[in-house]
Structure 1
Amino acid sequence: MCDGDDEDVDSVEVDFVEVTAVLEEDDGLQFQLPKHHRCACHLLNLVSTVDAAKACSNEAYKKLSRLSPVEIAFLEEYARTMSPLAKALNILQAEIDVQMGWLLPTLTLLISKLDRIRITSRYCKLLVDAIQEGLQQRFGNMLVEPEFIAAAILVPKFKTSWTTDEHIVKLGLDYIKDHLEEETSNQTPVDGSSASEEEDFFASMKSTHGQEGIKQLDGYLACKADNKEILKSFPAVCKLSLKVNTALPASAACERLFSTAGLIFSPRRARMNSKNFENQLLLKLNKKYCHFS
């Protein structure tokens, strides 16, 4: 087998094809290589090409890149299309200054940006449509949920400026007004005594507390300041804001916690006790607060 087969192998002629000239030749009208060749040649250059775009001018970038003008135009448009989505994900997955009230303003602005991108899009219209469809399927019900709308309105940064839909604003304000009345009407007397059945029966005639809550809401909405400190000036509004804005809109923080825990509790540390593991996890996640001399 050895001698005969070696002769057959040696006698096989291999044709080498030089593709450098084909890659450099480009009229911008079509791709010069079939898909499997194009993928093999361009995937290795994709990361370096994107990095080169940041460091080089457009003309220098085109000379250095092996991508055709059509491919470059597609990548640039793809980056512009995905940029708002990436920024929205970073906002919603943050761990600081993000409450449930950030969800709808972020989604609403993202949808608005994608609508504008689609108008001028040449290659990525189907991608924009797919993202829009996914957002509607996942968050469509939340976009009209009164509690989530109220949570957004009760974040001083947004109030009612994040949407131009009057129906959406009305849903949120109605929810706030109803719950402000509940919060104020359920307050116990200052001396701690409970109201009698007779007083409770005629409580609806006394709308003083409800009107006070509405006044605070009107004052909050009219205030031009957008920092959290203004909530202290409106106790009823502040209390309701804390109630509807406690939960985070994403589980990214928990996922990062489990990821960090997995890195610490490696096979070589299998004998680590729970107390030591917990301490190391806390130190790892809070290292910016730790100062060691």
Structure 2
Amino acid sequence: MKICNIVIDQKDQLGIVLDHHIIHIRKALEVLPCEGIPQTVSEFIEVGAESTIRIASYLQTLRTTSDQPYVFEKEECHFGPVVTHPSKIICVGLNYRRHADETGAAYPEVPILFNKFNNTLTGHLKDIAIPNVTEELDYEVELAVVIGKKAKNVSEDHVLDYVLGYTIANDLSARDLQMRTPQWLLGKTCDDFSPIGPYLVTADEVGDPQSLALQTTVNNELRQDSNTSDMIFNCKEIISYISKHFTLEPGDMILTGTPEGVVLGQPEDKRNYLKPGDVVTVEIEKLGALTNTFIEEK
């Protein structure tokens, strides 16, 4: 199942993507009431895998022609971040071989973890202001794992059973702030530095997370072009490793690293960092494409 977060009157509401349309669940329930159907992404995550069963059964009773009041065209929708209130946003640094190569870094022996906060979350097609405190804003396409069940000390053999689904993230990074100290946090946590979405695709539809193509374009110019098979630590290893150190909760997100092609990986005289007016699209196979326009901070 593919879900999204539609923002209407500043309220988050659950959408289900069917073909080229989006079913607005709350409006559908006004037409055909039914108990136990989640109406927001947060409720979908709280119910867990049972959500897909309930909604799939419910949708079979609905007409999904475009003349229905609960059917929206994608172009009509205002998308919010597809996960709205994660208790944790955990990121993995230097997790692609060719990305480590381009930056001259040694391959890590264990996953390099850092965190971001909810202030960094924004959605598809939202404008993002480039903070005045940076002159070196970089893009990073990343596969984001969304946890569906509480996970603690889970083995690699079973850990994907705890994954609700996957989405796209752009781990925006202010390199001058990131490299100012040994801790990367400052360069990673400015407002809107984690656009995610537009969709959350359940794990059953994605299948193997280690065979997904991923790309970044800036103003339609291809910058990143790789595959999740190039990860140093795969999703099973990452999630299991984290779960051995602290508990993962439903809705937690893990950003699994970025491949080669970032601005930082270019020779210094060829580094063209993001500037106002740039349009960045990050895309992952089976998950869709996430686009944001960058503007000047007021």
| TM-score, reference length from structure 2 | 0.22
Higher strand share: 2
Answer 1 or 2: which has greater helix percent.
1
If asked which structure has higher relative contact order (CA below 8 Å, sep 6+), I would say 2
Higher-Rg structure is 1
